[in-house]
Structure 1
Amino acid sequence: MSGASIQAALARAAEAVAKGPHSTPADGRPRKRRLAMGDPQADLDRVLAILAHHGLLGDDGWLKPDVQLVSVGDHFDWGKPHEREAVATSGLRLVAWLAAHPADQAVMLLGNHDLGRVGELAGFTDATFAAAQAEADRAYQGGDTDEAAERAFLARWPNVPTAELVARDFGNFREVQRAWVEHLLRVKRFRVAHVAGPGLMVLHAGVTHEDLDVAGLPPARRSDAGAVAQALNAALDVAVAAWREGPLVLPGLHRPGDAAGGEGVGIFYQRPSLKPEDAERVRGTPRRRFDPRRLPAGLTQVVGHTRDKRIRELLGLGPAGAKDGVVRHLVTDGTRVDYDHGAPPPPKPNEAVVVFTDGGMRECPPEAFELFDLDTRAAAR
């Protein structure tokens, strides 16, 4: 692991932020190593340490020329209240550093935390967010919410769904982050999905038949990664082109939260669940849960968004054996659902596959965090 390359990358990131919102166009160079990185919700030096451990960073502080990195989304929000300022700066520097690479080298996918800047937080300035957060901190403490205090909070701040969202979930917001996210949406640098190979697609949280019904993709084309990604990205482009102010909405696919409608829902929030109490929540879309048996057969989706412990809970497996840092997989034939650590076996034509890459980046040593190799379809070595 090269400390010099990490320090150089930190300098390049600070320079990219100082330049203001921008995006470097694709350069068309071939990339010999193509890897997907789970949710980078960690300090920038840790993200860079992971990349350096895998031999992806050059001495100049950029990704090596033959490397393509696909970031699966959620570039903001982590840490404790006393870390907020540092974390806000770190997340912005990561986004700026990625955007300064050619668009076909550093592929930037949207997560719910990225969209929160132009969704739930669309109407905030730094000053109004600071005022709202001070009030949210009083209503949400130690993992518990004071219901009376939250009612008063939402009466004053109706564009957010809970005090917890402002105190914790989207707690590192700054206006400059929104400026970057909006720019990267307008220039089509932030994408919903990325085609990585035949039947192989990368996105933040996964899609099912219900979501692809909304996107207008015929069932016969749902094993075609290119067709699925094109439909999802087209839905984003239409929404962004029509968006002038207020929260960005993708009709039927993504709705930000607010006090009237509750938490945000849709394809950037949803997680697979087999819990009996979620039986109604998995129907239709947009939603926060989906039935994994409704995943389209013939398609492998590489996603982030959900760590091992949470997936085990939602699939009714219990917490035993949960581990951070590792690639995991889910395979279903529409009836059975199998889940385990490691890369998936070669899928059969009637099977749908999800590869999970969110390994809790802050919770494990950099050398233990696995990236997913899009060429070998296994954990990177």
Structure 2
Amino acid sequence: MSTPRIEAALRIAADAAHRNPFSTPSDGRPRTRRFAIGDPQADITRFLAILDRHGLLAPDGRLKPEVQLISVGDHFDWGKAIERDAVATSSVRLLAWMAAHPADQLIPLLGNHDLSRVGELAGFTDARFATIQAEADRLYRGDATDEAQERDFLARYPEVPNVELISRDFGTFREVQREWVKSLLLTGRFRVAHAPAEHLLVLHAGVTREDLLAVGLPDALHAQASTVAETLNRALDEALNAWDGRGPFSIPSLYQPGNARYGEGRGIFYQRPSLLPEEAALRALTPRRRFDPRRLPPGLTQVVGHTRDKRCRELLALPPDSHDGVLRHLVTDGSSLDYRLGPPPHTGPGEAVLIFTDGGMRESPLELFELLDLDTGFAARPVEDAHMGGRE
């Protein structure tokens, strides 16, 4: 999996991670090759290998100067309990490697796992988290977790909504991660959304018409990707200006972290498309954890991560199947919808589109994992394997 370019990138990442959190300013250079990569919940070496396989790394271990990369969010939390320390280190190095690039070249978008560091986990020290996690590990048994024991746990630790969050979902937390997330938020490096084209929006989990109306954007502007991105990013910045930097961070109407009283976190970083009848009540909330995909803004194509193929099929009540690595799409005209593998076909102004990029980076075979070429709308083409192994 290693090449000289990957080794150089790993050195940059390790060195950058030992610095105080920082962000490299924009350099204003034109980027002629633009890509989006789905949830980077995998070891940094694997992440870099995917980039290198697609010919995006320069010999010095950074992105090639002409490349712009959009990371669709969720830079933390994967693996088994025994891997927690290694995962925690890898995730910080990944963010640090990203921060070492100009801000207009590598754009990290926020996911729910990123926001959790200043949300549900805002008040935890490493020592307190380790103590609570040891208890959560003893209690957590999936659906068989004892309800009475969990209620007692939450009475003592009301900052979190359940034991699963501490034992599994956000289980690789370290204080240094929060410092990086906080810094990248306050410097404007972490964004909610990015608009690479007039009707093309990139963000973690997608927005509905209700989400955009809730932040004051009228229906007539919902297909204008740059306006949508500006509105969402402005909501983030206004929330940051109102935040004390210590308590749990939230964005009115868009993001509410979970706790024992509120339940699980909700909002545009958590929500997934669902047609399951039993989730109708969840779809009716704002903010929410589920949304009706028929309420997506028509005329807008949204590039998202957050949900893998197997989970999409479950929530959309489709026959079970699972394809890791590949891009997928959902197209709806507001009444019917079509979910398939691959990039979407040509669509009209009355149709809404989701392009899913979460290919299960950790589990997908490396040779199957696809990036989205934002200029062509198709999966990026890898370079020849023989070329990848050589020195430059």
Place the TM-score, normalised by the shorter chain, in its bin. Answer: over 0.9
Cα distance in structure 1, aligned partners of 2:229 and 2:344 = 21
State the match for 2:389 in structure 1: none
Q: Deviations over 1:66-98 (max 9, x none)?
A: 111100000000000000000000011101110
Q: Is the 8 A contact 1:145 1:164 kept in 2?
A: no
Helix, strand or coil: the match of 1:354? strand
State the match for 2:274 in structure 1: 273
State the match for 2:387 in structure 1: none
State the match for 1:246 in structure 2: 247
- Inter-CA distance 14–201: structure 2 relative to 1 (3 Å threshold): same
Cα distance in structure 1, aligned partners of 2:141 and 2:79 = 15
Q: Deviations over 1:296-339 (max 9, x none)?
A: 0110000000000000011110213x200000000000001100
Q: Deviations over 1:317-364 (max 9, x none)?
A: 0213x2000000000000011000000011111000000000000111
Q: Post-superposition shift, 1:277?
A: 1.1
State the match for 1:121 in structure 2: 121
Q: Post-superposition shift, 1:20?
A: 1.4
Q: Which runs of 5+ in 1 are unaligned?
A: none
- Give 1:1-381 correspondences, 5 Å limit: 3-141=3-141, 144-244=144-244, 245-320=246-321, 322-381=322-381
Q: Post-superposition shift, 1:2?
A: 5.9
Q: Deviations over 1:25-58 (max 9, x none)?
A: 1111111210000000000100011011001111
Q: Post-superposition shift, 1:19?
A: 1.4
State the match for 2:390 in structure 1: none
Helix, strand or coil: the match of 2:196? strand
Q: Post-superposition shift, 1:150?
A: 1.3
Q: Post-superposition shift, 1:142?
A: 6.0
Q: Deviations over 1:207-238 (max 9, x none)?
A: 00110011110110000001100110000000
Helix, strand or coil: the match of 1:145? coil
Cα distance in structure 2, aligned partners of 1:247 and 1:224 = 31
Cα distance in structure 1, aligned partners of 2:284 and 2:216 = 18
Q: Which runs of 5+ in 2 are unaligned?
A: 382-392
Q: Deviations over 1:167-207 (max 9, x none)?
A: 00000000000001001100110000001111001000000
Q: How many residues align?
A: 380
Q: Is the 8 A contact 1:205 1:304 kept in 2?
A: yes
Q: Is the 8 A contact 1:223 1:299 kept in 2?
A: yes
Q: Is the 8 A contact 1:72 1:111 kept in 2?
A: yes
Q: Post-superposition shift, 1:18?
A: 1.0
Q: Is the 8 A contact 2:142 2:164 kept in 1?
A: no
Q: Is the 8 A contact 1:210 1:284 kept in 2?
A: no
2:292 maps to amino acid:
D
Cα distance in structure 2, aligned partners of 1:319 and 1:124 = 39
Percent of aligned pairs with the same amino acid: 67
Cα distance in structure 1, aligned partners of 2:373 and 2:231 = 25
Q: Post-superposition shift, 1:143?
A: 6.2
1:34 maps to amino acid:
R
Q: Post-superposition shift, 1:148?
A: 2.4
Structure 2 length as normaliser, TM-score? 0.95
Q: Deviations over 1:262-319 (max 9, x none)?
A: 0000000000011111122111410000000000011000000000000001111021
Q: Is the 8 A contact 1:5 1:57 kept in 2?
A: yes
Helix, strand or coil: the match of 1:355? strand
Helix, strand or coil: the match of 2:283? coil
Structure 1 length as normaliser, TM-score? 0.98
